[in-house]
Structure 1
Amino acid sequence: MRDILEAIMAAEDAEDPARELSALGRLPVPASYRGVVVRADEADMFAGMPAADRDPRRTLHVQEVPTPELGPGEALVAVMASAINYNTVWTSIFEPLSTFSFLRRYGRLSPLTRRHDLPYHVVGSDAAGVVLRVGAGVTRWRPGDEVVAHCLSVELEEAAGHDDTMLDPQQRIWGFETNFGGLAELALVKANQLMPKPGHLSWEEAASPGLVNSTAYRQLVSHHGAAMKQGDVVLVWGASGGLGGYATQLALGGGAVPVCVVSSPDKAELCRRMGADLIIDRAAEGFRFWADEQTPDMGEWRRFGERIRELTGGDDPDIVFEHPGRETFGASVFVAKRGGTIVTCASTSGYQHQYDNRYLWMHLKRIVGSHFANYREAWAANRLVARGRIHPTVSRSYPLERTGQAAYEVHRNAHQGKVGVRCLAPRDGLGVRDPEFRARHETAINRFRGH
Structure 2
Amino acid sequence: MTRARVPAKGHELAQAVVAGAEGAELERLEVPTVYRAAHLRKDDVGTFDQHDQDKDVRRTLHVGEVPMPELAEDEVLIAVMAGAINYNTVWSATFEPVPTFAFLERFGRTDPRHDLPTHVLGSDAAGVIVRTGRAVRRWRAGDRVVTSPAYVDGEDPAGQQDGMLAADLRAWGFETNFGGLADFAVAKATQLLPKPRHLTWEEAACNMLCASTAYRMLVGERGARMKQGDVVLLWGATGGLGGYGVQLVRNGGGIPVGVVSSREKADLLRRMGCPYVIDRSQFEDLSDEKGWRRLGAEVRRLVGEDPAIVFEYTGRETFGASVYVARRGGSVVTCGSSSGYEHTYDNRHLWMKLKRIIGSHGANYQECHEVNRLISLGLIHPTLSAVYPLERTGEAARAVQFNRHVGKVGVLALAPGEGLGVEDHALRERIGEDRLRLFRTAP
Report the TM-score range of the alignment, normalised by the length of the smaller protein: over 0.9
Q: 1:195 to 1:404 in 2, by over 3 A?
A: same
**Aligned partner letter, 1:304:** L
Deviation at 1:143, TM superposition (A): 0.2
Deviation at 1:157, TM superposition (A): 1.1
**Aligned partner letter, 2:221:** H
Q: How does 1:358-377 map to 2 (within 5 A)?
A: 358-377=348-367
Q: Which runs of 5+ in 2 are unaligned?
A: 1-7
Indicate the residue corresponding to 1:287 in structure 2.
284
Q: How does 1:224-239 map to 2 (within 5 A)?
A: 224-239=222-237
Indicate the residue corresponding to 1:308 in structure 2.
299
Deviation at 1:53, TM superposition (A): 1.3
Indicate the residue corresponding to 2:15 in structure 1.
6
**Aligned partner letter, 1:34:** R
Distance 1:79 1:209 in 2: 15
* Counterpart contact for 1:123–1:179, Cα < 8 Å: yes
Q: Which runs of 5+ in 1 are unaligned?
A: 12-18, 290-295
Deviation at 1:22, TM superposition (A): 4.5
1:409 pairs, out of 373, 396, 399, with 399
Deviation at 1:86, TM superposition (A): 0.2
2:153 pairs, out of 149, 152, 155, with 155
Indicate the residue corresponding to 1:122 in structure 2.
120
2:219 pairs, out of 209, 218, 221, with 221
* Counterpart contact for 2:17–2:79, Cα < 8 Å: no
Q: Deviations over 1:387-433 (max 9, x none)?
A: 00000011110000000000001000000110000011111101011
Q: How does 1:348-363 map to 2 (within 5 A)?
A: 348-363=338-353
Indicate the residue corresponding to 2:80 in structure 1.
79
Q: How does 1:163-202 map to 2 (within 5 A)?
A: 163-202=161-200
Indicate the residue corresponding to 2:38 in structure 1.
36
Indicate the SS of the match to 2:22: helix
Task: Provide the TM-score with structure 2 as the length reference.
Answer: 0.96
Q: How does 1:198-213 map to 2 (within 5 A)?
A: 198-213=196-211
Indicate the residue corresponding to 1:293 in structure 2.
none
Task: Provide the TM-score with structure 1 as the length reference.
Answer: 0.94
Indicate the residue corresponding to 1:392 in structure 2.
382
Is residue 421 of structure 2 the alignment partner of residue 431 of structure 1? yes
Distance 2:102 2:241 in 1: 27
* Counterpart contact for 1:153–1:171, Cα < 8 Å: yes
Distance 2:51 2:69 in 1: 34
Distance 2:196 2:75 in 1: 22
Indicate the residue corresponding to 1:92 in structure 2.
93
**Aligned partner letter, 2:360:** S
**Aligned partner letter, 1:9:** V
Aligned pair count? 432
Indicate the residue corresponding to 1:292 in structure 2.
none
Indicate the SS of the match to 1:449: helix
Indicate the residue corresponding to 1:16 in structure 2.
none
Deviation at 1:122, TM superposition (A): 0.3
Distance 2:388 2:300 in 1: 41
* Counterpart contact for 1:287–1:304, Cα < 8 Å: no
Indicate the SS of the match to 1:260: strand
* Counterpart contact for 2:283–2:295, Cα < 8 Å: no
Deviation at 1:28, TM superposition (A): 1.1
* Counterpart contact for 2:320–2:344, Cα < 8 Å: yes
Distance 2:193 2:381 in 1: 16
Distance 2:23 2:386 in 1: 27
Query: Where has structure 1 moved over 4 Å in runs of 4 or more?
Result: none
